[in-house]
Structure 1
Amino acid sequence: MSVPASHTEEHPLNVRGPARPPTPRRRPRALGALAALALAAGTALVAVQPAAAATAARVDNPYAGATTYVNPDWSALAAAEPGGDAVADEPTFVWLDQIAAIEGDSEKRGLREHLDTALDQGANLVQLVVYDLPGRDCAALASNGELGPAEIGRYESDYIDPIADILDDPAYASLRIVTLIEPDSLPNLVTNAGGTAGSTDACATMKANGNYEKGVGYALHTLGAIPNVYNYVDAAHHGWLGWDSNLVPAAQEFKKAATTSGATVNDVAGFIVNTANYSATTEPYLKITDSVNGQTVRQSKWLDWNQYADEQTFAQGLRTALVAQGFDSGIGMLIDTSRNGWGGSARPTAPSTATSVDAFVDGSRTDRRIHAGNWCNQSGAGLGERPAASPATGIDAYVWAKPPGESDGSSKAIDNDEGKGFDRMCDPTYTGNGRNGNSMSGALADSPVAGHWFSAQFRQLLANAYPPVGSPGGGDTRAPSVPAGLKVTGTTAASVSLSWSASTDDTAVTGYDVYRDGTKVTTTSATSYTDPGLKASTAYAYTVRAKDAAGNVSAASAAVTGTTAASGGGGGTGACAATWKANTWSGGFQADVTLKNTGDRPLTAWKATFTVPSGTVVTNAWSATVSVSGTTATATHVDYNTDIAAGGSVSFGYQGTGTYAAPTSVTVNGQSCALS
């Protein structure tokens, strides 16, 4: 099996010109309470302290009900492009990619100025990228940083501590502050260091000296001590970590870093996937359980045995693996949707009718890259879902972590004083390497250094946006407001009824598209809909989008779940087959399981039971919840693979200790399965 260690690139708006050097100081974390008491007792000292804001209450999801800060620096660049005003008020992350970015300069505001501007806007949520680890981005050249591989002390004292000092200022206590911790760092340790297929000497060095883990742990511990800070750790994307052999090791690596340098799992609010990458949020016409002429789509060249086809299912599957490693069951996931819309004329409108697995996948996928490992300034990309809170189960928000229009890297070598090199993956003439299947890079021509404004890219992203934002420079480009108040008003065994509040628009709202589990099921001019023909005792997720006379479509509403009533007829029936594959070692094993529904009716809310040797202990599982009692194990579906369609299949896996033996009997929903 070929497992490409594909790569994301993440770069902020470049800080140019002379910077005012910060005055770093290590934060006296253990003395914080005593210092506060001392300040309270000293009148003269209190008089010069910033006015304290009302402390923001800690919430499960910081994006729920939030008004998010719009970065004026990015907004001005976007608005200056033809049609760019249509998205210039979208919230994007502020990238702190070097020590000088904390203080800012005459062209780009520093961290404190951003926070002050957020308060002036009336925002209560600010999004930051923490991105300056020693030996940063060891697997690529375009986004190398300023700190050498051994400069962990300077990272802590000159970078993290000054950031924490500012965020801990009482003047900003009313803000929810989301931090994205060190893109690419931990994923590189999983796949690009220590003998793996994509290993580099630089990544091997960072794995050996432990500074990626130490730096991430220190950032989590230091920033996590501030009550209104929410840390989200970068977790790559499905085309990097989505293989069976990568997912659990990644969750283990994240746990290791989150318990290093004083950090605990309680310092982690969640994880973010697809940072600055192009993988589709959802693939409406392609599911990992699809098969063509008896071949699973996982066998296609595009998926290459990956167990995920898009970012949302990957995020949900990774979340399950992370909870199994000991992260809190309430952690949330973020998905960067800034450049993964893939609209335009190349976007498919229905599943392919091709009869070969490769042709079917290539004709069905909305992600139009040449290879899923391509990451630099991709030709044909478009803006994706607009930032939105709680769009799906386990997902805290869709966000724009990578500000659209910022280059991933230069298409040729360009001298610069930012430490950023030239990576051939940004060269449109490059014919690739093993990590992208030796295919063309798919990069746009004439791109500037990473983080600099790339006008041609922004215009392409706007033109290919999905949902669309209208024709750049051609009349109205404002999308309608997001439908609010979506709720379930009633259910039967075969239907779910919904209602929502009307949207507003510059012109006129002409209707609403209703989506069930990510697939559009109807368009209606009303603000209510009853979805018929459903299965009993089944949970369905719904969102709604508004559209207007100019052809603009809003972002999706917050998702709601409607569960149909029981019919008394029980779950689906049909024949089934089960396949077990295992890797074993002294005292332990990993099992990979495929359950196939060979009947003509779906297996709903599937639950499998199977035999295991006495003494078997399951230590973690993915794509299912697995438990053992005596010599009987039970595997139960998770929220994203509830049913096995007729002719379809589902895969899950688990690791454990003890002696491994293949099951002697397997049942799914109470019926015996054929073993192979």
Structure 2
Amino acid sequence: MSRTTAPPRRTRTALISACALVAAGLATATGMSGTAHAASVACNVTYTTNDWGSGFTANVAVTNSGTAALDSWTLTYNYTGNQKLTNGWNATWSQSGSTVTAKGIDWNKSIAAGATAGAGAQFSYSGTNAAPTSYAVNGTTCNGATGPTDPPTDPPTDPPTSGSLVDNPYVGAGVYVNPEWSALAAAEPGGSKISSQPTAVWLDRIAAIKGVNGGMGLRDHLDAAVKQASGKPFVVQLVIYDLPGRDCAALASNGELGATEIDRYKSEYIDPIAAVLKDPAYANLRIVTTIEPDSLPNLVTNTSDRPTGTPQCDTMKANGNYITGVGYALNKLGAVGNVYNYLDVGHHGWIGWDDNFNSTAQILHQAATASGATVADVQGIIANTANYGATTEPYFTINDAVNGTSVRQSKWVDWNRYVDEQSFAQAFRTELVSVGFDSKIGALIDTSRNGWGGSARPTAPAAKTTLDGYVDGSRTDKRIHLGNWCNQSGAGIGERPKAAPAAGIDAYVWVKPPGESDGASSAISNDEGKGFDRMCDPTYTGNARNGNSMSGALPNAPLAGHWFSAQFQQLLKNAYPAL
């Protein structure tokens, strides 16, 4: 579970256009009557870019400087080069020849007097990339002058939003579209269907804070998020992922820091991240962090007192550096007034058994009260990070029985108390409250790769002839075993990111960017600290963690976090809901 980067940012330009116009034919629906009215419009348009030489993102901000609300807006402009639209967000974008059009969507098409609506898009180009020289709003042209070549660096005059956390950061907010991932997705056949979706930014090593191999660093992403926000409530999602002795039970996602290097984790990783997030320039963003995937659950299930234990996990449990590190991250990041910390809790096929459930809740509480942290530094949990468990199983439940025998006794469920991520996340959230966490904590579910669509997806419950036949025929999750986690064959894009989809669930999110490998299919020499895990080898016949089953992994996979085109194409093909 790692991140790679795309081409570097090169230049940024800005152009401001002021216009006053009368759109005599501008019509908007008013209630059920269909009545239309004419409206006088006065506006300012700001255009900025983030350019890396072969492509760029463009952000537009349409400000209504009139005295009445602007009930709808359509912005058009022309390029003089060969710029080509690849995807867009926060507006309906299209291109015909050199003319680009952006239309306001449901949540931002109405702009109150003095307010601003923002939108962004990504383009490819070669040669020159001159900014547009004029704009049209609702069919009337207005011209303006070129602004500064870079955004102003002075802190905003508005006071920071420190200490003003909302119950659910996703409600009423836009979410950051990572232009690096978006460019990779859009370059794939059919990739434009999802390339405008928001995904998380993985800070998987110290170098990622400033940017790896010329790619975007943390400040670059936050600057881009501010532009995409255009003054509206806006979430940017970060994965904090560089603990000492990282992923003690999985070689593919091992990290750069040794088991004892907790001081480096604090001073070279967490402290610099916190310093960037404290910048007043980012005070109006809602910064959502996923804290250290897979770490704390490993201390419950993968130490030597379990059949699946490893010496590496014994070491991390004994030295306490997972607990210390997570507590330190919660404390330092939680002190930033606009950061929302979500603790990773594994997934239902890992923590859903009775002997793991409460033990994991207890160890999360231990970490949340270590290194100066308190439970107030935790806004929620995240389930299924970079995993494949179905969000919901529509055709069977944990309460079903066949010939009087509970489905819990089936080979697939194997005495687990949950059959999907949503029921698990809701129940685990309640368990955390019972051990001392705040009653208002929410939950996120990573739905980036758990759709399980395609021809293999059932459309109804199977016949209740045999127990295993009923469960296997009814389940949408088509993995060979619940313990399989690496580049799974047959997986598909899951539910699209969505705020407040169910009780206790803050959002469905795409934390693992679709198309990024879980690990290499064979050993690959690298300087990223990533080993070779046989669970990523399609020929591997398994171990105790997956019931000695085949791994179910795709062949020819690159290192964890590197782009895996074949996986991306499979995810598109098997998406559910279908794309």
Which of 58, 61, 65 is residue 172 of structure 2 equivalent to?
65
Distance in 1 of aligned mates of 2:157 and 2:556: 48
Q: Kindly indicate whether the alpha-carbon contact (under 8 Å) linking 1:15 and 1:105 is maintained by their aligned counterparts in 2.
A: no
Distance in 1 of aligned mates of 2:7 and 2:555: 23
Q: Kindly indicate whether the alpha-carbon contact (under 8 Å) linking 1:217 and 1:260 is maintained by their aligned counterparts in 2.
A: yes
What residue is the counterpart of 1:575 in the other structure? Answer: none
Q: Kindly indicate whether the alpha-carbon contact (under 8 Å) linking 2:4 and 2:212 is maintained by their aligned counterparts in 1.
A: no
Matched, 1:80 2:187: yes
What residue is the counterpart of 2:375 in the other structure? Answer: 265
What residue is the counterpart of 2:488 in the other structure? Answer: 378
Q: Kindly indicate whether the alpha-carbon contact (under 8 Å) linking 1:301 and 1:358 is maintained by their aligned counterparts in 2.
A: yes
For the residue of structure 2 that corresponds to 1:178, the secondary structure is: strand
Distance in 2 of aligned mates of 1:78 and 1:383: 13
Residue identity opposite 1:113 in structure 2: D
- 1:237-276 to 2 correspondences below 5 Å: 237-276=347-386
Q: Kindly indicate whether the alpha-carbon contact (under 8 Å) linking 2:237 and 2:287 is maintained by their aligned counterparts in 1.
A: yes
What residue is the counterpart of 1:451 in the other structure? Answer: 561
Residue identity opposite 1:238 in structure 2: H
For the residue of structure 2 that corresponds to 1:118, the secondary structure is: helix
Q: Kindly indicate whether the alpha-carbon contact (under 8 Å) linking 1:232 and 1:269 is maintained by their aligned counterparts in 2.
A: yes
Distance in 2 of aligned mates of 1:316 and 1:215: 26
RMSD: 1.5
What residue is the counterpart of 1:229 in the other structure? Answer: 339
What residue is the counterpart of 1:464 in the other structure? Answer: 574
Which of 153, 157, 164 is residue 267 of structure 2 equivalent to?
157
- 1:334-373 to 2 correspondences below 5 Å: 334-373=444-483
Which of 197, 213, 219 is residue 90 of structure 1 equivalent to?
197
For the residue of structure 1 that corresponds to 2:185, the secondary structure is: helix
Distance in 2 of aligned mates of 1:203 and 1:436: 18
Distance in 2 of aligned mates of 1:163 and 1:125: 17
Distance in 1 of aligned mates of 2:352 and 2:197: 29
Matched, 1:183 2:293: yes
Which of 379, 388, 394 is residue 278 of structure 1 equivalent to?
388
Which of 152, 160, 177 is residue 55 of structure 1 equivalent to?
160
> Deviation digits for residues 546-569 of structure 1, max 9, x if unmatched?
xxxxxxxxxxxxxxxxxxxxxxxx
When residues 264 and 293 of structure 1 are mapped into structure 2, their CA distance, relative to the original with a 3 A threshold, is same
> Deviation digits for residues 431-450 of structure 1, max 9, x if unmatched?
00111011100000000000
Distance in 1 of aligned mates of 2:429 and 2:487: 28
Matched, 1:13 2:4: yes
Distance in 2 of aligned mates of 1:354 and 1:286: 11
Matched, 1:430 2:535: no
Matched, 1:146 2:256: yes
Distance in 1 of aligned mates of 2:5 and 2:245: 19
Displacement, 1:121? 1.3
Displacement, 1:197? 2.1
What residue is the counterpart of 2:522 in the other structure? Answer: 412
- 1:512-661 to 2 correspondences below 5 Å: none
What residue is the counterpart of 2:279 in the other structure? Answer: 169
Distance in 2 of aligned mates of 1:148 and 1:14: 24
Distance in 2 of aligned mates of 1:353 and 1:14: 48
Q: Kindly indicate whether the alpha-carbon contact (under 8 Å) linking 1:432 and 1:440 is maintained by their aligned counterparts in 2.
A: yes
When residues 48 and 77 of structure 1 are mapped into structure 2, their CA distance, relative to the original with a 3 A threshold, is closer
Distance in 2 of aligned mates of 1:61 and 1:267: 14
Residue identity opposite 2:4 in structure 1: L
For the residue of structure 1 that corresponds to 2:557, the secondary structure is: coil
Matched, 1:133 2:238: no
Residue identity opposite 1:432 in structure 2: G
When residues 16 and 259 of structure 1 are mapped into structure 2, their CA distance, relative to the original with a 3 A threshold, is farther
Displacement, 1:122? 2.0
Q: Kindly indicate whether the alpha-carbon contact (under 8 Å) linking 2:244 and 2:261 is maintained by their aligned counterparts in 1.
A: yes
Distance in 2 of aligned mates of 1:14 and 1:112: 14
Which of 204, 226, 229 is residue 314 of structure 2 equivalent to?
204
Residue identity opposite 1:62 in structure 2: P
Q: Kindly indicate whether the alpha-carbon contact (under 8 Å) linking 2:6 and 2:181 is maintained by their aligned counterparts in 1.
A: no
> Deviation digits for residues 500-525 of structure 1, max 9, x if unmatched?
xxxxxxxxxxxxxxxxxxxxxxxxxx
What residue is the counterpart of 1:402 in the other structure? Answer: 512
What residue is the counterpart of 2:89 in the other structure? Answer: none
What residue is the counterpart of 2:208 in the other structure? Answer: 101
Displacement, 1:105? 4.0
Q: Kindly indicate whether the alpha-carbon contact (under 8 Å) linking 1:302 and 1:361 is maintained by their aligned counterparts in 2.
A: yes
Distance in 2 of aligned mates of 1:204 and 1:97: 23
Displacement, 1:107? 3.7
> Deviation digits for residues 614-641 of structure 1, max 9, x if unmatched?
xxxxxxxxxxxxxxxxxxxxxxxxxxxx
Q: Kindly indicate whether the alpha-carbon contact (under 8 Å) linking 1:53 and 1:174 is maintained by their aligned counterparts in 2.
A: no
What residue is the counterpart of 2:441 in the other structure? Answer: 331
> Deviation digits for residues 205-243 of structure 1, max 9, x if unmatched?
000000000000000000000110000000000000000
Displacement, 1:16? 9.9
What residue is the counterpart of 1:111 in the other structure? Answer: 218
Q: Kindly indicate whether the alpha-carbon contact (under 8 Å) linking 1:15 and 1:101 is maintained by their aligned counterparts in 2.
A: no
Distance in 2 of aligned mates of 1:342 and 1:409: 20
Distance in 1 of aligned mates of 2:4 and 2:474: 35
What residue is the counterpart of 2:20 in the other structure? Answer: none
When residues 101 and 375 of structure 1 are mapped into structure 2, their CA distance, relative to the original with a 3 A threshold, is same
Q: Kindly indicate whether the alpha-carbon contact (under 8 Å) linking 1:53 and 1:172 is maintained by their aligned counterparts in 2.
A: no
> Deviation digits for residues 161-218 of structure 1, max 9, x if unmatched?
0000000000100100000000000010010124122110000000000000000000
Task: Return 5+ residue gaps in structure 2 as ranges.
Answer: 9-151
Residue identity opposite 2:3 in structure 1: P
Displacement, 1:14? 5.4
Q: Kindly indicate whether the alpha-carbon contact (under 8 Å) linking 2:245 and 2:316 is maintained by their aligned counterparts in 1.
A: yes
What residue is the counterpart of 2:402 in the other structure? Answer: 292
Displacement, 1:48? 8.0
Displacement, 1:120? 1.2
Residue identity opposite 1:460 in structure 2: Q
For the residue of structure 2 that corresponds to 1:216, the secondary structure is: helix
Matched, 1:307 2:437: no
Displacement, 1:50? 3.4
For the residue of structure 1 that corresponds to 2:226, the secondary structure is: helix
Distance in 1 of aligned mates of 2:544 and 2:359: 22
Distance in 1 of aligned mates of 2:339 and 2:430: 24
- 1:207-222 to 2 correspondences below 5 Å: 207-222=317-332
For the residue of structure 1 that corresponds to 2:174, the secondary structure is: coil
Distance in 1 of aligned mates of 2:327 and 2:6: 26
For the residue of structure 2 that corresponds to 1:430, the secondary structure is: coil
Distance in 2 of aligned mates of 1:16 and 1:372: 37
Q: Kindly indicate whether the alpha-carbon contact (under 8 Å) linking 1:52 and 1:171 is maintained by their aligned counterparts in 2.
A: no
Distance in 2 of aligned mates of 1:219 and 1:132: 11
